[in-house]
């Protein structure tokens, strides 16, 4: 009788291990290496979209070639996908795509809001940014805080947000950041320098300082000038307030000169005609301008004028101010001739 050849048990183990390794390698390749993405693409996952509908859209865009594999990958990453706009680079595997959707690894954009802009200017800036979506104005019947923005309500900063973020959402983010600043100031029990009393007055003066100089080192000195004038019951005579009145809150003359006759405009914002601060801020301010008002320089200056080099000359007396002003006219004439 012919004896049957017995395969040692360790050979069975080796065969099984080899098969397992091959299966694992195949799965790793299929899910984690193989890709049909032949170029960099941008893909939008709409809010409320099902995994099946997203899979169909991916197939239609030649980003994946198997809805089944995508659904398995999604399940392996927790079973959820987050809405948003995604940058999918060339060669991205189906597993990585599912991971991006699960983590909400959306494409981001940087929006820089300079200090000293008005709400109108900021809205214009946002409308020019194609990485954002939607309007800067609320629809009829909407009465959220972001729908009633005033100058001084927004905090200028560099914002990193998801591409496709709505413009109203970004405006509200800026608004909330300024609200947080006010809340922290009030909680800290800080006292505004006399004669200022309220947060609105602090931000109003800070907005004038912000518009008068972009030099951080000068801001506390400029703030001291206006505080000294307020204490001495002098008109502030700040050109930016006249510009604000002339442009109906835009804050930009669009290249037109500010003329002497403009200083007589009838407006509560005209600090050449009215005593005290204007009724509200004339721009949105950064931390440097706020700190300058809260911690002004200790000076006796009452006047300042441009020095022709991006800064200003300060004076205690009107006579010295007139001399500085004459120097500035000479510099300006030379600059215009060039």
Neighbours of 234 (CB within 10 A): 13
Shared domain check, 114 and 127:
yes
The reply to whether 94 and 124 lie within a common domain is no
Is residue 4 domain-resident? no
The one-digit pLDDT tens for each residue of the chain (338 residues) are 555 555 556 777 777 777 767 766 666 667 777 888 999 999 999 888 899 999 999 999 999 999 999 999 999 999 999 988 999 999 999 999 999 999 999 999 999 999 999 999 999 999 999 999 999 999 888 889 999 999 999 999 999 999 989 999 999 999 999 999 999 999 998 889 999 999 999 999 999 999 999 999 999 999 999 999 999 999 999 999 999 999 999 999 999 999 999 999 999 999 999 999 999 999 999 999 999 999 999 999 999 999 988 899 999 999 999 999 998 888 887 777 76
Residue 10 is predicted with a pLDDT of: 73
Which residues pair with residue 159 across a beta bridge? 111
The phi, psi pair for 196, rounded to 5°, reads: -70, 145
Q: How far apart are CA 31 and CA 26, in angstroms?
A: 8
Rounded CA-CA distance 56/62 in Å is 10
Q: What pLDDT shows up at residue 295? A: 96
55, 82, 103: which is the final residue of a domain? 103
Query: Do 220 and 288 belong together in one domain?
Result: yes
- Map residue 81 onto helix, strand or coil: coil
Q: Classify residue 87: in a domain, yes or no.
A: yes
Residue 13 lies in a domain: no
Question: Which of 85, 103, 121 represents a domain boundary (last residue)?
Answer: 103
Strands 303-306 and 158-162: unpaired
Do both 227 and 287 map to the same domain?
yes
Domain count, the chain: 4
- Judge if 226 and 278 occupy the same domain: yes
pLDDT of residue 6: 53
The reported pLDDT for the residue numbered 17 is 75
Helices (H), 260-304: 287-294
9 domain-assigned: no
Which residues make Cβ contacts (< 8 Å) with residue 174, sequence separation at least 6? 113, 122, 154, 155, 156, 157, 159, 284
Structural domain range at position 142: 108-188
Pairing status of strand 312-315 against strand 303-306? antiparallel
State both tokens at 116.
């000293």
Alpha-carbon distance of 337 to 186, in angstroms, equals 51
Beta-bridge mates of residue 87: 42
| CATH number of the domain enclosing 320 | 3.30.160.60
Write the CATH number for 98.
Answer: 3.30.1490.480
Domain finish residue from 152, 168, 188: 188
């Amino acid at each position: 009788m012919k004896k049957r050849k017995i395969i040692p048990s360790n050979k069975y183990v080796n065969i099984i291990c080899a098969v397992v390794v091959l299966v694992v390698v195949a799965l790793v390749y299929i899910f984690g290496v193989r890709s049909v993405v032949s170029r960099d693409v941008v893909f939008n996952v709409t809010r409320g979209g099902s995994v099946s509908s997203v899979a169909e859209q991916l197939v239609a865009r030649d980003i994946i070639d198997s809805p089944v594999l995508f659904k398995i990958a999604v399940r392996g990453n927790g079973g959820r996908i987050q809405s948003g706009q995604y940058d999918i680079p060339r060669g991205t595997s189906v597993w990585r795509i599912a991971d991006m959707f699960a983590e909400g690894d959306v494409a981001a954009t940087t929006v820089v809001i300079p200090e000293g802009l008005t709400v109108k200017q900021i809205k214009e800036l946002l409308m020019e940014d194609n990485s954002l979506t939607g309007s800067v104005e609320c629809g009829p019947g909407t009465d959220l805080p972001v729908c009633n923005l005033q100058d001084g309500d927004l905090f200028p900063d560099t914002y990193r947000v998801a591409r496709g973020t709505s413009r109203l959402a970004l405006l509200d983010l800026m608004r909330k950041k300024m609200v947080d600043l006010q809340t922290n100031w009030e909680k800290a029990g800080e006292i505004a320098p006399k004669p200022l009393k309220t947060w609105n007055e602090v931000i109003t003066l800070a907005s004038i300082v912000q518009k008068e100089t972009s030099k951080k080192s000068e801001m506390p000195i400029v703030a001291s000038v206006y505080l000294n004038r307020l204490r001495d019951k002098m008109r502030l005579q700040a050109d930016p307030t006249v510009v604000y009145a002339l442009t109906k809150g835009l804050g930009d003359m669009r290249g037109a000169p500010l003329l002497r006759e403009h200083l007589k405009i009838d407006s509560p914002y005209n600090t050449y005609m009215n005593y005290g601060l204007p009724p509200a801020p004339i721009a949105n301010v950064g931390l440097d301008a706020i700190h300058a008002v809260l911690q002004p320089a200790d000076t006796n200056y009452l006047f300042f004028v441009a020095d022709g080099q991006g800064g200003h000359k300060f004076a205690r007396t009107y006579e010295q101010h007139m001399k500085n002003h004459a120097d500035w006219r000479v510099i300006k004439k030379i600059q215009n001739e060039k």
